Amino acid sequence: MKKHHLALLSFLSLLVFWGSGFLAIRIGLEGFPPFFFMASRFLIGGSLLFAVLAARGYRLPRPREWGFAFLEGLLLMVGGGGALAYAQRSIGSGLAAVGIATVPIWTALFSGLFGQWPSRMEWAGIGIGFAGVLLLNLKGELRADPTGALLLFTSAVTWAFGSILSRRLPLPRGLMAAASEMLAGGLALIPLGYFLGERLTGLPPLRPLLGLLYIAIPGSAIAFGAYTYLLQNVRPALATSYTYINPAIALGLGVLLAGERITRTEIAAVGAILCGIAVIVLSRKQR
């Protein structure tokens, strides 16, 4: 399969599995404490991906590579995923998607600090997409408690910084980087949750368990591997532009599963988001 075909499939998997992931996290939090839930997610997904890669003969990470994988696990899984789950205890899925939609902005800034500033067209695409996200949520739930808002901000910043840093660290090769980072991040989340008083007193109900399985297998083992591939093969602005489509997917799920209606403002917002992505993709082709 050609490189651009793999990149397209990887991007589409992020739209499907991470676009619906906010709802899966919200469902999972009905029966799990946030850090324990995300630790379970990454340990299940990381173990599954690691086992498949090892069975196929991929080289296992060396001790030095495990150290850098642990650093990335702290940034992406603990700072990015853990903070997001903790924030979603008090912030709705739609607002969480809006907060994470700022990731391309932070990615562009961190990328520039490392000497790779976005092109003018990429900046234009970032601006158009973010304007669409704001328009989409003009009538949304924009009320957030200070702790939740701070955690959402932390999640976006650490995810962006970890994404940029991963391109410059001697991590395990290929998808083994994703597997080792998930395992390291999942192990780090367990003592953090215990320190904050998280306890699992019994087996959660079926609904939260299904939410965990969904976010752990397709939402982690598949999607995080796809994200790692994109980070290694396309420009950062394109790799993180999926965050602009997540709010639109959340809107679609609301229509399909909750009987919500789409207003003209929301239709215009979705159009702006798609235009922003198109501009970023065209900028990539020009380069």
**Phi and psi angles of residue 197, each rounded to the nearest 5 degrees, phi first:** 90, 15
Per-chain mean pLDDT for the chain? 85
Q: Does 275 score more than 90 pLDDT?
A: no
What percent of the chain clears pLDDT 90, i.e. is strictly above it? 44
CA distance linking residue 152 with residue 236, whole number of Å: 21
- The predicted-structure confidence for 110-119, as pLDDT tens digits, reads as follows 888 887 788 8
- The predicted-structure confidence for 2-11, as pLDDT tens digits, reads as follows 677 888 899 9
Assign 147 a pLDDT band (cuts: 50, 70, 90).
Answer: confident
CA distance linking residue 51 with residue 176, whole number of Å: 10
- The predicted-structure confidence for 252-273, as pLDDT tens digits, reads as follows 776 676 565 667 776 787 788 7
